[in-house]
Every structure is written in structure tokens, then in C-alpha cells.
Structure 1
Amino acid sequence: MGKNLKTGKIIAFIRETKHLKLKEMTGGDFSESQLAKFEKGETEITVGKLFTVLENSNVYLDEFQNLYNEYEQSYEYNYRHELAVAYAQKNIKVIKEIQSFWEEKYQQKSDNKFYQINKIVVKINLAMAKGSTVFKEDTDFLMNYLESVSEWGRYELWIFGNCLRHFDDNALEYYGMQILGKANYYHSIHLNQQIVIRTFLNIIDTWLRRENLIQAFKYINHLKEIGISINFFYEKILFEYHKAHYKVLQKQNGAIEEMKKHAQTLADYGFPLEAKALFEEIEKL
């Protein structure tokens, strides 16, 4: 869907839900017919006029942004969710379909670096799902992109979270320490808070898998300092699971049973796939 049509449909949605007339939305600052055409995607309006419409509708800019992101999700947002589900289920067929989609998009417009990044991230997920080798040039490309961005948003956090398991120790330590400085948006945006927390959980898990207790302990403390509210139930239980895993590696008595307890909690509260993966991990310890 084109941006103008999408924005117009959102403005129409706001007007209809608030039972406002076109004249009330424009406030007489520009013609009602122009707004009507904009709602249908037939014409454009200036940023100033858009702000006028939002002000006259008593809709704040961050509320509009949320509607813009959620009202009709683009392929980019949908595929991230589909990719996460497919990887969790090790569904090679679906991951390959997503990979083909982004390869085709990149072939159509090879100067779009985001198409290339998306293609590489899917390629890495496919390799991880198959247990095959991830190519260094792919992770290098992503690392160079992350290094070039001074303020990480959801997109950059998503890239890092998907690929951090394939960074070497030096790169993982470096970028892990960069997160809070580069992701300032996480303080005020709920979804970004969740993504930052999940990213730290992935880092902790990676260090535990590498049996690097010093680094794992460092990031456990980072996450303690950030804090995980009760609103993030899944993340809170997973954090307790990772802390129990840390105790296992320290050879503390009862730590395995503690891991099983947290995995079972996830199973009991509607996370069966995630719990299954944790139980399988415990069996290998």
C-alpha cells in the first residue's frame, strides 16, 4: 500500500471513529475536498496540513505513529513475525519462501541496502535452522551497517538480536556494551523496551552457551539494573531460567531442577514451543 493511501486511510479511520466532519478536521485552513481526496489516496497534503488535522482531531503525534505502524502492517513487519515463528519451529520451507521473497525484492532494486540486509538476516536464520555454516562476509556486512548507525531503533535491534550468536567474542562484547548508548528510544517506548530486554537475554544465553561465565554474569547484572517489569512475563521467567543455567555452569546443587521449574512455568502459561526448546536444552546439559 502506498504511503499516501495508507496515511489517508488512517486519517479517515480517525475521523470516522471520532464522528468528526471534514470541516472539523480541516478547521477551515484548507478545503474539505482536498482532505476527502487525501483520505482516498487521490492527492497529497503538506506536513503542516497533516499536523492541523491531527490537532483538530485531538490526536497526538505518537498516537498517530502507532496507528500508522499497526493499522495495516507492511510486508516488512509481517515477515519479521513470520520469520521468528518459522525459525522457532525450524520450518525450513517457510524460511526459504521468505528468503526467496527478499531475494526477488533485492534483484528488482539492488541499490536498496535494506532489502540486502533483510535478505542476509533471513539467510542467517536459514543457516541456523539447518545447522549449517554462516558466512563471515554476511555477518561482516551487518556489523558494518550497525556500526554506521548512531541511534539504533527496532530495526537495528532486530538485526543484532537475530545475528549476535554468530559474532565472535570480541564483536559480541563490543556491540553488547553499545546497546544502551545506541538505543535511547527504549526508555519511552514499550515495544522497544521489550526488544532491548530480549536482546540482552539473547546475549546472556549466547555467553552461557560459550560457557563464558564472566561475560554472562556481566550481562545478567546489566539486565538486573535495567529491570524487567511484570508486564514482560515471558522475559521475566526466561531471565530466571538463564540465571539458573548460570548456576548449573557453576556446578551449584539444585540448579538443573530450577531450570526445569522455569521451563515448566512457561509451558503452564501458554508458551509450549518455547518451553519445549528449553527442556531439550536442559537434557543436553
Structure 2
Amino acid sequence: MTHGQLIRKLRKERGLTQAQLAEGISSRTTLSTLENSKTDVNINTLFSYLDRLNVSIQEYMFYFNDSSNTEKELATKYFYDNIVKKRDIEIEQRILDYQSKYKDSKDFYYCCLSIELKLFLNKKKDKTVFDVREDTEIIKKYLERVTQWGHFEMSIFANCLYIFTSDYIRATFTILLKRTKILSKIDTYQNDISIFLNNCIVLALERKNYQNARFYIQQLYQISEKTPRKAYDRMMCAYYLALLKQLKGVNANVDSTISHFKELGFSEHAEMLENLRDRLLSSSKQSIA
């Protein structure tokens, strides 16, 4: 299906004439020419059409790809949904596949996926399976070169956090806010920044950098006021603060938040929080001993 065919389909389903959809956006002739697949559409004009049709960009791309996930979306789904269930040899094959795809397409997305998989295996085995020093520099140079970060850049940084020093992450956080300011009113941005801060907190706790952990918890609490994830993020802040107290040897009820997640039906998430609690408390006791 072409852009013109899809726009015509969406317009007719919503009972609009060509004149009604085009009014104030383009001439009716421009829309008609587009719908008859005789020209490409200007991106600003397309966005204006979609706004009048009350169709989001994400929805439009889903429809445009024939109600199926794109190759990149399938790759992302594999990485985030299935990776932990796959055997190492399969993951190593994926790394080779993504490297090959990057070589052929020059699409940096696949380069990042291969690096993230390398980092995952290194962390999973708690040893260096892959030398990622060169990969780290590739990621750093890319992020430093891009002056206007979007979802892609924020995801790269959030998923590769632990290859950076704590000082680098803390310094880059301020830069991140400046580079993504233009996106701050978009719901997906708020979701991205929330995920990023949650990752920062966990990493700071793992590194026993409790001052940084408290800083990121404060940032998450403040930002959560403006996000659709407010309830979740506030519950996570309570969990992190209680866990932080326990790690410092102060009595705190970490299990309270975990119980709330269980009551809400998020049993897998609650189990993840229990595992994180046990792992960090065990590591803390070992360092004291």
C-alpha cells in the first residue's frame, strides 16, 4: 500500500471529503494527486493530514507496514522480550547477523544491537566474552556527535549505561536533558527518561555509589509528576529509598512496595525486585565481611 492509498483509506473511513481533509493544509488537487499515487508527500503535509485524521505517527506506520511489525521492530522485540530465554550460541549468532546487516545497510541501528548483545553476554557471564573497548568508543562518539537526541539515542545510552563510568553518566545526564528538551512534551519521551533514570539508579546501587543513587531517585520523583508512569515511578522511588536504607544498615520495609506490585498483578516485576534486593544485600554483606 502506498502513502496515497493509505491516506485515502483513512480519510474515507472517517467520512471526510478531500476538500475537508486538505482545508488549510494543501490544495485539494495536491491531496488528490497524492491519493492517486502520482506524487510523494511532503512530510510536514503528511503530519498535518494525520493530525486532522486523529491518527498518531505510530499508528500510521503500523498501518503503512500492513499491520505488521517492521524488521527493526521485530529485532527490538527479540532483544527485549526473548533474549533472556535464548541460549548463548543463539545470541552469538544474532550478533554476527546484526554485524552483517550493519555492514550491508550501514544502518547504525544494527551496529547498536550487536553491541548491546555483546554487553548482555558479558554481564550474564560476569566475564569478558567480547572485547567491547572499540564498541564503547563507537557508542560514545555517536552520542557526542548527535546534538538533538531522540528515542533512539536515549535508548542506546540507557541500554549501554554500565560501559560508562559513574562520573561520565552523571555529567551526561545534564547534557541529555538539554539535547532532548524539544521532546519533553511527548509521552514517549517521558517514558524514555523514566526508563533511563531507573537504569541509572540500579547501576548506582550495584556500584555502591549511594550518593548518585539518591540523586537519580530525586530526579525520577520530580520527573514522574509529568509522566503517564507517575504511579509506577513513585512506587519505584519508594522501593529504591527503602533499599538504599537497608544497604546502609538502616531498617526499612523494602517488601512493602514489592507486595503492592504483587497485589496489582505484576508478579514477574515483583520477582525481579526481590532478586535485585537479594543480590544487592548479599553483595553489601560480602563487602563488609
Separation in structure 2 between the aligned mates of residue 187 and residue 6 of structure 1, nearest angstrom: 32
From 172, 176, 189, the equivalent of 1:175 is 172
Supply the distance in 1 between the matched residues of 2:91 and 2:156 (Cα, whole angstroms). 16
Once superposed, what is the RMSD of the aligned Cα atoms? Answer: 3.1
State the AA in 2 paired with 1:80. Answer: T
Contact 1:198/1:235 (CA < 8 Å) preserved in 2?
Answer: no
Does 1:234 pair with 2:232? yes
Q: Secondary structure at the match of 2:153?
A: helix
CA deviation map 1:134-163 (0-9, x unaligned): 622212211111111112111011001101
Shift of 1:124: 2.1
Worse overlay, 78-87 or 147-156: 78-87
Pick from 54, 72, 79: which aligns with 2:75? 79
Alpha-carbon shift at residue 23 of structure 1 (Å): 6.4
Distance 1:118 1:161 in 2: 13
Q: Which runs of 5+ in 1 are unaligned?
A: none
1:272 maps to: 267
**Given the superposition, is the C-alpha separation of residues 170 and 6 from structure 1 closer, same or farther in structure 2, using an over 3 Å criterion?**
farther
Distance 1:152-1:49 versus aligned 2 partners, 3 A rule: closer
Seen in structure 2, the aligned counterparts of structure 1 residues 150 and 263 have a Cα distance that, compared at 3 Å, is same
CA distance 1:53–1:217, change in 2 (3 Å): closer
TM-score by length of 2: 0.78
Kindly tell me the number of residue pairs found equivalent between the two proteins. Answer: 268
Match of residue 133 from structure 2: 136
Q: Retained in 2: the 8 A contact 1:146–1:156?
A: yes
Equivalent position of 2:187 in the other structure:
190
Within a 5 Å distance, the mapping from 1:93-108 to structure 2 comes to 95-96=91-92, 98-108=94-104
Equivalence for 1:14: 10
Report the CA distance shift for 1:147/1:48 in structure 2 as closer, same or farther (over 3 A). Answer: closer
Q: Distance in 1 between matches of 2:121 and 2:5?
A: 36
For the Cα contact (< 8 Å) 1:22–1:35, is it kept in 2? Answer: no
1:166 paired with 2:195, answer no
TM, length-normalised to structure 1 = 0.79
2:242 is matched with: 244
By how many angstroms is 1:222 displaced? 2.0
State the distance in 1 between where 2:263 and 2:211 align: 32
Are 2:203 and 1:209 aligned?
no
Which deviations, in whole Å up to 9, do the C-alpha atoms of 1:102-121 show, x marking residues without a partner?
23312323x33333223222
What amino acid sits opposite 2:34 in the alignment?
Answer: L
Equivalent residue number for residue 148 of structure 1: 145
Structure 2: gaps of 5 or more residues? 282-289
Once superposed, which parts of structure 1, at least 4 consecutive aligned residues long, lie more than 6 Å away?
A: none
Partner SS for 2:79: helix
1-structure distance, mates of 2:71, 2:46: 27
**How much does 1:75 deviate?**
2.2
| Residue identity matched to 2:153 | E
The one-character-per-residue Cα deviations of 1:172-197 (angstroms, maximum 9, x if unpaired) are 22223322112214421111101101
Q: Percent same amino acid at aligned positions?
A: 22
Write the deviation string for residues 55-85 of structure 1: whole angstroms up to 9, x where unpaired: 8x8347xx45243344344222333233122
Confirm or deny: 8 A CA contact 1:92 1:126 kept in the other structure: no
d(CA) in 2 for partners of 1:189 and 1:112? Answer: 25
